[in-house]
Structure 1
């Protein structure tokens, strides 16, 4: 569920770029199956970030059925690359179908299995990284990809404000320097990730209230 009020979300969607037919099919799939995808507002932002970064290579920690990868692929050069990682074979097969339908199959590398194991097999640089897997592993994902992101590169983490198990009041308390009791691992994972990227002098981070909240981390040094 988006953290934006419904009317504001509709406004952002109306002003943003129009999804193509395949993306509309992917949105319909998410609604029909109850799949927690990032949605067109965040998808358009991801594409915008990749465009600003002049991205040639992109890595995703968690790709589902390829929704975010599809948005990314639209701005990659012909020799670009987006690495999709997914533990669910059926979802990855569906991602392949959608990417092929959009004409982006040649840009995609499909990796079945744990993203944390996959990233070790890839050398950098990656101009844009999306972190959207288990929340308690976000900080580990940052550590794994940190040295593979060049100056000017961007890391985007989804669910920085909300998701089913995230306790926002406790997340806010932690951000403001308090120590709430009984914080679940998902909330703690997001809090640890935000602390990690905010305190790393090589990066600058902001959080934007799009979708369920996205943390945008830019490499400055």
Structure 2
């Protein structure tokens, strides 16, 4: 579900950072295979965000075939690091191939397996974190990485407004406005995440209607 009109979406894509040849190939793959990637408008924003944050280390909970990681990688310094996590070995192998073709192989670390179990093996700090895996585990992911966030770090949660039939926007809206809708598992997961991060005084949160919605939470510990 897109929250921008076709004309506005075209405008955002035209004004924002332009995908290179590899990203255009990745976009074509997503369209051909029906793969739910974040798309160039969110990808361009992620690259912009990492650059503005001066990020050196980025962690992804759920990397798929490396689309968002590729956008992030372009904003990182030569001694930076992006950690990709993915349970599907074939997708992770695709991510490795794409990032190496883009010249980012030296700053990418590829972790096959459960993302939350993986992050336990890492020390911080991380400057940007993307949560984009199982919706019912978003809160668990945030808590798993919380102690590894740099002061001022930004946590990005994808599908903050919808995700095909997994997250239902109308029910989510009813929930955040104080209603008591009957939520499916995916919508409950996003609702729980938004409730959790908004109630935490260490985070300042907003939502942007790019793609299927991204929640941005800036970490400001006391």
Instruction: Report the TM-score when normalising by structure 2.
Output: 0.97
CA distance in 1, matches of 2:155, 2:49: 10
CA distance in 2, matches of 1:18, 1:169: 32
Q: Which residue of 2 aligns with 1:5?
A: 5
Q: Which residue of 2 aligns with 1:76?
A: 76
- Distance apart, 1:220 and its partner CA: 2.0
Q: Which residue of 2 aligns with 1:24?
A: 24
Is the 1:3–1:162 contact (alpha carbons within 8 Å) kept by the matching residues of 2? no
SS in 2 for 1:106: coil
SS in 1 for 2:85: strand
CA distance in 2, matches of 1:7, 1:127: 33
SS in 2 for 1:36: coil
- Distance apart, 1:204 and its partner CA: 0.1
CA distance in 1, matches of 2:64, 2:181: 32
Q: Which residue of 1 aligns with 2:91?
A: 91
Poorly superposed stretches of 4+, deviation over 4 Å:
none
Q: Which residue of 1 aligns with 2:129?
A: 129
Q: Which residue of 1 aligns with 2:144?
A: 144
Q: Which residue of 2 aligns with 1:168?
A: 169
Q: Which residue of 2 aligns with 1:115?
A: 115
For these two proteins, the number of residue pairs brought into alignment is 220
Is the 1:132–1:157 contact (alpha carbons within 8 Å) kept by the matching residues of 2? yes
- Distance apart, 1:51 and its partner CA: 0.5
RMSD of aligned residue pairs (Cα, Å) = 0.8
CA distance in 1, matches of 2:188, 2:78: 40
CA distance in 1, matches of 2:38, 2:2: 9
- Distance apart, 1:178 and its partner CA: 1.4
